[in-house]
Structure 1
Amino acid sequence: MTYQEVTSVSWFGRIKNSVVGVLVGIVLILAMIILLFWNEGRAVTTARSLEEGAGIVVSVSAGQIDPANEDALVHVTGMVTTNDMPSDPDFGIMVNALQLLRQVEMYQWVEESRSETTKNLGGSEDTVTTYTYSRRWSEQEHESSEFRHPDGRENPPMELRRGYFPVEDASIGEFQLSSTVIAMIDNQEPLRLGRENAEAIQDVVGRSHRVHIIDGNIYLGDDPHNPQVGDYRISYKIVPIGAASVIGQQAGAGIVNYQTNAGDRLLLVTHGIASASDMFADAAQSNAMLTWILRAVAVFMLVIGFAMIMGPLGVIADIVPILGSIVRFGSGIVAIIFGIMTGTLTIAVAWFWYRPLTSLIVIAVGFGISWLLTQRAKKNASQASASIA
């Protein structure tokens, strides 16, 4: 089912909106500059902390706690053991694992909208918005009261949500693992329930919903092949009991965050048996990846910010639509240039602030390469002139 609505904005109204966009663009640019500067500092602090940690970490046996390593950065590996079993009380599910994770979907009405805008001679603008409604499974609750056309598309409240159920106590040898460490062991795998679980789950749920087991997952509703609004699908994942490796500060019988001189707090956890060097290498790679992702996002948002600042130019020129398109294309190119320049300049300044020696070396190398290229170009030009003569 689809509905269409047409809204119009005058040329003066669009100019007013674009001026508001300028203010938003300025705030966005300032925020992205701050983000880029912070990101470089975060990356440097993390890199230095990892380098510091890699140089002082001590690999210890999990079978015995040595008081001499108290407060030291230690590396422990071994099988994780626990006497606890995570359970989901809402469905009476209990498993032999470290973590039990519940995912919930509800069959419900979902609203989607799509807008197409047409610019008119004189600068006004018409927008056709198409609202489409369909029923489907979704983990997110869609409030039907907020739909543009809610009549006949009422969703019941989503009473069941995703859940996280870890064990309360676990250890590697003599070392006790905190809830933080347990949560960082992330080798998740699906949990498939058997049809024999349906009756027990039905007893826990009660008669408000009919329970089915479909493809190893729980279905709450009358007919899994003909879902109705308000039906649920529940699936589970577990983190199985197995080996794990932990790097952190030895604190009694526990392992906690280690405060480095560089400024970071180190606590590295991975499933399986991993050497300290591999764990630090993986952490360094993750740090570099996060740094580049934040750089890319910030530069992209800078481009958007500059485009918003120059937005009024295109709106003013839209009094003749084709002229507005030309101006908007040109301002878009300028926004890309300004965004990249601002981003790279901010990164350069941050590098000089946080890593002055490295920055000077990079600048020196850059000038050196430029000088060599210039000299080579002059030499080629001289040889070309001599050949002509």
Structure 2
Amino acid sequence: MKFDKKQPTPTTQSGRAPWEIPYEGWTQVADEVFVEGVKLSTDLIGKISWTHPIVVLPPPRAGSNAVVRDKYYYHGPHPGEPEVGDVRIFYECSGISGSTRVAAQERVSIIAMFRDGQFHSFPLRKGRAVEFLYRGSKSIQEMFDAEQALNTARTWLLRLVGFLLMFLGLNIMTRIIVTLVDWIPIVGSVITFSVTLFNLTLAASLSLLTIALCWMWHRPLFATSIFGVSLLPWFFSAGRAKSAHHRR
């Protein structure tokens, strides 16, 4: 929607422009959180990411134009017929310590080091630390399996990003070749496709080679397999070139 500068800016009944939000979202975190009388560290508190909507709201304060409807404070003339510029405010909470009208008491599973009446991160080698918190009752094996799956997904995502960046870099480097022949009707399209395919193959091979080098010390057999896969396109291309040479 466009407005002429000479026309007055449309406003709602409250005097605000429709795109203006009078309230900003905010999060209040407790300074101290306990589980069975044991204090949680700041990192563990940050892992409590799930929330419950507060459905029982106190009445609005005196002088406010808000009304309570369902789980919202509604600012507007007709809650059942919302208009542009109306505002709904709702609240959520997490870490429920007792049975309330919002939800039942929360249960969490924690893997951490207990020291001085508080949970701390368990230090590992190379500056790493272990400190897990999961919702509900879970066994140690389930939590470690979940962390392993998360690390695997994160690792492959980084590998995919590395491959895409390498492919983009190769395309930038070979862009001059495509530019020189792009004006030729048929030859330009063929060479552009060939250069793109070459860059894709080279990026895949170099990415697999990088992965193989990282695994060489810990899992040499797996690394050797990946290294062999990275060379397959070049062996295949060399074989086809050799066959074509013999046919000539």
With the length of structure 2 as denominator, give the TM-score of the two structures.
0.67
Q: Which residue of the partner structure matches residue 159 of structure 2? A: 295
Change (3 A) 1:260 1:357: closer
Q: Which residue of the partner structure matches residue 304 of structure 1? A: 168
Q: Answer yes or no: is 1:351 the counterpart of 2:206.
A: no
Q: Which residue of the partner structure matches residue 191 of structure 1? A: 54
SS of structure 1 residue aligned to 2:28: strand
Deviation at 1:344, TM superposition (A): 0.9
Q: Is the 8 A contact 1:193 1:217 kept in 2?
A: no
Q: Which residue of the partner structure matches residue 384 of structure 1? A: none
Q: What amino acid is aligned across from residue 83 of structure 2 in structure 1?
A: P
Measured in 2, the distance between the counterparts of 1:307 and 1:254 equals 54
**CA-to-aligned-CA distance 1:318-340 (integer Å, 9 cap, x gap):** 33466544433332222211221
**Which residue among 89, 94, 113 is the counterpart of 1:234?**
89
Q: Which residue of the partner structure matches residue 241 of structure 2? A: none
Structure 1 stretches of 5 or more lacking a match? 2-132, 134-148, 368-389
Q: Which residue of the partner structure matches residue 34 of structure 2? A: 171
Q: How many residues align?
A: 209
Give percent identity, aligned residues only: 20
Q: What amino acid is aligned across from residue 211 of structure 1 in structure 2?
A: A
Q: What amino acid is aligned across from residue 306 of structure 1 in structure 2?
A: L
SS of structure 2 residue aligned to 1:163: coil
Q: Is the 8 A contact 2:18 2:84 kept in 1?
A: no
**CA-to-aligned-CA distance 1:304-328 (integer Å, 9 cap, x gap):** 2222322333333333466544433
Q: Which residue of the partner structure matches residue 72 of structure 1? A: none
**Which residue among 178, 196, 202 is the counterpart of 1:338?**
202
Q: Is the 8 A contact 2:109 2:135 kept in 1?
A: yes
Deviation at 1:268, TM superposition (A): 0.7
| Mapping 1:84-103, distance limit 5 Å | none
**CA-to-aligned-CA distance 1:120-177 (integer Å, 9 cap, x gap):** xxxxxxxxxxxxx7xxxxxxxxxxxxxxx99569776655333222333222223112
Q: Is the 8 A contact 1:185 1:244 kept in 2?
A: no
Change (3 A) 1:236 1:322: farther
Structure of higher RCO (CA pairs closer than 8 Å, 6+ residues apart) = 1
Q: Answer yes or no: is 1:248 the counterpart of 2:136.
A: no
SS of structure 2 residue aligned to 1:164: coil
Q: What amino acid is aligned across from residue 303 of structure 1 in structure 2?
A: F
SS of structure 1 residue aligned to 2:125: coil
SS of structure 2 residue aligned to 1:273: coil
Change (3 A) 1:167 1:350: same
Q: Which residue of the partner structure matches residue 79 of structure 1? A: none
Measured in 2, the distance between the counterparts of 1:150 and 1:257 equals 59
Change (3 A) 1:357 1:297: closer
| Mapping 1:94-113, distance limit 5 Å | none
Q: What amino acid is aligned across from residue 29 of structure 2 in structure 1?
A: P
Change (3 A) 1:329 1:294: same
Q: Answer yes or no: is 1:259 the counterpart of 2:119.
A: no
Q: Answer yes or no: is 1:319 the counterpart of 2:183.
A: yes
Q: Which has the higher strand share?
A: 1
**CA-to-aligned-CA distance 1:283-319 (integer Å, 9 cap, x gap):** 1121112111221222123222222322333333333
SS of structure 2 residue aligned to 1:312: helix
Q: Is the 8 A contact 1:221 1:228 kept in 2?
A: no
Structure 2 stretches of 5 or more lacking a match? 11-16, 97-105, 229-248
SS of structure 1 residue aligned to 2:108: strand
Q: Which residue of the partner structure matches residue 161 of structure 1? A: 24
Q: What amino acid is aligned across from residue 26 of structure 2 in structure 1?
A: G
Q: What amino acid is aligned across from residue 155 of structure 2 in structure 1?
A: T
